[in-house]
A and B are shown apart, each in its own frame.
Chain A
């Protein structure tokens, strides 16, 4: 079974600063997908960024980028120029490729990110 670990329960930074959220995972598979999801107080999970394990290039989406280190099984999220609207719970998640979705997403415990004005 896969596990996902987020070691930072809570982080707080000032608006406009850069923040990095850490995530490590454990799997014996070679092909898989990794995700960062954001959950604001509204409860709705929103995809932030997605990475396919066979791609060496790190995914980026505007102010959001990842540092994917496959050998180290690390998948950190960097948020640049942080904004008040970035305040939310952030979940790192893993999906098996071979499972065909049958195992769903395996989530970490989450990091509560607070952006201070």
Chain B
């Protein structure tokens, strides 16, 4: 597609369930980023992929969060045993490279944990 695609757009899940969020970046973009946007914390950087590799996972909020990227393309962010504080909008962005070029964002996944 022409832009960054995220699915699902909205997800309501019960506390304790696992969820998987998907990001399909712009074709040819080597850099991929995940962010979390919540009222209390604003926009937080979670993780960065260069190709399939994530050099630093320390931005992930807890060990319940994991992310992977395969084939230098699609990425998934998985949250295990969801908690109410995980409720937020999860944004994915991709850019051509990691040298400050424009990051194109998806429309995000709004996650609500009930």
Taking CB atoms, residues of chain A closer than 8 Å to B59 are: 104
Most interface-central of A32, A43, A95 (chain B CB within 10 A) = A43
Q: A37-B105, A45-B93, A50-B100 are in contact. List 5 more A-B contacts (CB 8 A).
A: A43-B89, A45-B105, A104-B33, A104-B45, A104-B48
The 7 A-B pairs of least Cβ separation, nearest first, read: A101-B98, A33-B100, A104-B45, A45-B105, A107-B43, A44-B107, A100-B98
- B residues adjacent to A (C-beta < 8 A): 31, 33, 35, 42-43, 45-46, 48, 50, 55-56, 59, 89, 91, 93, 95, 97-100, 102-108, 110
- Which of chain B's residues has its CB closest to A47's CB? B102
Q: What is the minimal beta-carbon distance from B101 to any residue of chain A, in angstroms?
A: 9
Chain A contact patch, size range = 20 to 34
Most interface-central of B48, B97, B100, B105 (chain A CB within 10 A) = B100
Q: What is the minimal beta-carbon distance from A111 to any residue of chain B, in angstroms?
A: 12
Taking CB atoms, residues of chain A closer than 8 Å to B98 are: 100-102
User: In the bound complex, what is the Cα–Cα distance between A95 and B42 (angstroms)?
Assistant: 17
Contact between chains at B100 and A95 (CB < 8 Å): yes
**A65 within 8 Å of B by Cβ?**
no
| A101-B50 CB under 8 A given contacts A33-B100, A110-B42 | yes
Contact between chains at B105 and A101 (CB < 8 Å): no
22 sample A-B contacts, Cβ–Cβ < 8 Å, listed by A number: A43-B91, A44-B105, A44-B106, A44-B108, A46-B105, A50-B100, A50-B102, A97-B99, A97-B100, A100-B50, A101-B31, A101-B50, A101-B99, A101-B100, A102-B55, A104-B33, A104-B59, A105-B33, A105-B43, A106-B45, A110-B42, A110-B43
User: In the bound complex, what is the Cα–Cα distance between A97 and B102 (angstroms)?
Assistant: 14
Taking CB atoms, residues of chain B closer than 8 Å to A110 are: 42-43
Taking CB atoms, residues of chain A closer than 8 Å to B56 are: 102-103
Q: What is the minimal beta-carbon distance from B6 to any residue of chain A, in angstroms?
A: 10
